[in-house]
Every structure is written in C-alpha cells, then in structure tokens.
C-alpha cells in the first residue's frame, strides 16, 4: 500500500474531524484576514489604524469599498478555503469529499429554479412573522442588542446594494450572490452536514443542525427562522441530488434575485423595495407557495440518482 496516497487525517473519527474543522476555520480566517489587512494599506492608500476606525461609517464611499473588499476576503477565509482543505485532509480529494464531482440530470436544476421562485411568498411571510416576535421583558437588553445588530446589518446591506453602475451590479453578483453561494454551501452542506451525519448517525438531524448554524452565523435574529428554512431546503437538495452544485445553484438564485431586483428597482424598471421581492399579503398565494414546496421537493426526490446518496460514509463512521 502506498501510504503517500492515503488521506492525511483519514483515521480521525467524526467528532475529532469536527473539532479539527473548527480549528481550520479559525486559522484560515485569521490568516486570510491578516493578509487582507496588510494588503489593504497599499491597495487603498490608507493606514491600518484608519481602516479599523473607519469601518462603521457606512456613508463614506471609501469605507464601503473597504467593506466590500473584506467581504470577499471573508468568503474565502471563513468558508471556501477551510472546506477545501478539510476535503483534502480527510479524503485527499476536495471535489470528492464535498460531492463536487457529480452533477445530477438537468431536470433537477430546472425544478430547483422553479422551487426557489415558487417559495418566495412563503419565505417572505415567514420573515414578516419572525419580525413580529418579541422576547420576554427580562430579556429586554438582549432584544435591544439584537435590534441594533439588525439595524446595522440592514444599513450595511443597503450600502452594498447601492449600484450606480453596471460594473457595481456585476461586482455584487460576484460578492453577494456567487461567493456566498459557493462558500456557505461548501461549509454548511458540503462539510458540516456531512460531519454531523457521521457523528450523529442521522441525516435529518444533521440537516437541521447545519441549517441552524447556517442561520445563526448571519447574526440576524429577525430573519433567523426563514433563513433556517432556506438552510433546510438546501440540505435536502444536497442529500437527495447527491451533488453540492444543486444547493449552490439554489443559493445563487436566492441571493442573485435580490441583487437583480435591487438593480432594476434603482433603475426604475421594477417598482417596490428589493427586500420585498416576491412578497405578498394575499393569503391564498402564500398558502399555495407553502404547498408548492413539498410538491417540488418530492419531484427532486424522485429525480435522485439510484442507490445511496453521494454523502459517503467512512468505514469507521458506520459504527454509528
């Protein structure tokens, strides 16, 4: 046996793999952020102290450029690099470990496209319900902090969504739609969902835990449940299709449609706020949207490849 071809950390059991992955995320993010910070000086002609002190001024154009820059850095350092490295360490094949080496039949992508748009009224209804939630009085301080964090996130999103040129629109399609779709799906579905399945021994529990962490990572309480719902949807897309490219595609459609809606709205082509794209107060449409979700998922389920889904279990994981 050629041990040089064996995965470096093949012998690790699920829990140590999960702990190693957490350390990998921390180290990758810290190193890429540090490199990005050092490069920001010569790239933007500003000192490191000035960079840190100006990060909260969302009205300054240079600050927004810096924040866009660090947003891209974050996508690579926090999500993409750790997931790819984990795949190499655990299986010596990032594409194989993350199920990037398979693509389902084209009808799966078509149904996914229809599903993402058909689910918009129901997801937006969940947002409105989530926004009405209130914590008990003894948690008033926590609720005030969450509202402040939510307002800051909304201000930053509005600043990012300001696209005075077509070049800004294309950059946002990369920064807001493509990179998060790739990075977050690599991390939460490709890596964490698999690790939780191996550790907990239950794919459904793994999907829900990964979706919970996916939503919690965004630090936006008033959008927590609809975002978790999206995470669950992405998780089952991955499980039933066997390919990570399906939830990546769905995630890209979800984020990209918001960018397109914002751009068209700013050009006067589309009326209304981009945040309300697909929203409606018509209860019949909301119910119809909610019913369409399981129907379309059943179609994806029936289109799944024969045999066991691609999320391969290592020999030592089958003990669970």
Per-residue pLDDT, 142: 81
**The tokens of 102 are what?**
């398979």
Mean pLDDT, residues 200-220 taken together: 93
Report residue 21's pLDDT band, with 50, 70 and 90 as the boundaries.
very high
Nearest Cα neighbor of 251 from 126, 112, 92 is 112
Per-residue pLDDT, 5: 67
Q: How far apart are CA 54 and CA 217, in angstroms?
A: 24
pLDDT of 30 strictly over 90: yes
Per-residue pLDDT, 111: 96
pTM for the whole structure: 0.89
Residue 313 · residue 198 · CB < 8 Å: yes
Phi-psi region of 211 (alpha: psi -120 to 50; beta: other; left: phi over 0): alpha
C-alpha dist (Å) from residue 28 to 33, 76, 297 = 8, 9, 35
Per-residue pLDDT, 279: 86
Least confident of 88-97, 193-202, 213-222, 244-253: 213-222
**The tokens of 284 are what?**
């019949």
pLDDT in tens, 83-108: 999 999 999 889 999 999 988 888 99
Least confident of 251-265, 280-294, 298-312: 298-312
pLDDT of 53 strictly over 80: no
Per-residue pLDDT, 197: 96
Residue 123 · residue 230 · CB < 8 Å: yes
pLDDT in tens, 121-131: 999 999 999 98
pLDDT of 268 strictly over 50: yes
Per-residue pLDDT, 143: 80
Mean pLDDT, residues 79-85 taken together: 97
Cβ neighbours of residue 27 closer than 8 Å, sequence gap 6 or more: none
pLDDT in tens, 304-316: 776 544 444 443 3
Report residue 170's pLDDT band, with 50, 70 and 90 as the boundaries.
very high
């Amino acid at each position: 046996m050629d041990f040089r071809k064996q995965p470096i950390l093949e012998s690790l059991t699920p829990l140590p793999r999960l702990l190693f992955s957490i350390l990998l995320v921390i180290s990758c993010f810290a190193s890429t952020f540090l490199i990005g910070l050092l490069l920001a000086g010569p790239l933007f002609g500003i000192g490191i102290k000035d960079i840190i002190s100006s990060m909260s001024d969302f009205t300054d154009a240079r600050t927004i450029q810096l924040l866009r820059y660090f947003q891209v850095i974050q996508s690579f350092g926090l999500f993409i690099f750790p997931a790819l490295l984990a795949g190499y360490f655990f299986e010596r094949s990032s594409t194989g470990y993350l199920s990037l080496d398979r693509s389902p039949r084209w009808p799966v992508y078509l149904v996914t496209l229809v599903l993402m748009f058909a689910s918009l009224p129901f997801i937006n209804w969940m947002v409105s319900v989530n926004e009405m939630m209130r914590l008990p009085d003894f948690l008033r301080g926590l609720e005030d902090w969450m509202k402040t964090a939510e307002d800051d996130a909304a201000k930053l999103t509005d600043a990012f969504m300001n696209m005075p040129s077509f070049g800004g629109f294309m950059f946002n399609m990369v920064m807001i739609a493509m990179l998060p779709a790739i990075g977050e799906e690599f991390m939460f579905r490709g890596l964490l969902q698999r690790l939780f399945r191996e550790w907990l021994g239950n794919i459904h529990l793994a999907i829900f835990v990964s979706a919970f962490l996916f939503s919690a990572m965004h630090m936006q309480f008033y959008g927590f449940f609809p975002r978790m719902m999206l995470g669950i949807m992405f998780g089952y897309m991955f499980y039933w299709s066997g390919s990570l490219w399906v939830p990546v595609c769905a995630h890209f459609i979800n984020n990209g449609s918001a960018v397109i809606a914002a751009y068209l709205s700013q050009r006067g082509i589309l009326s209304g706020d981009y945040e309300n794209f697909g929203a409606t107060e018509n209860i019949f449409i909301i119910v119809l949207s909610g019913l369409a979700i399981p129907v379309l998922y059943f179609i994806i389920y029936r289109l799944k490849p024969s045999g066991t889904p691609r999320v391969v279990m290592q020999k030592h994981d089958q003990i669970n």
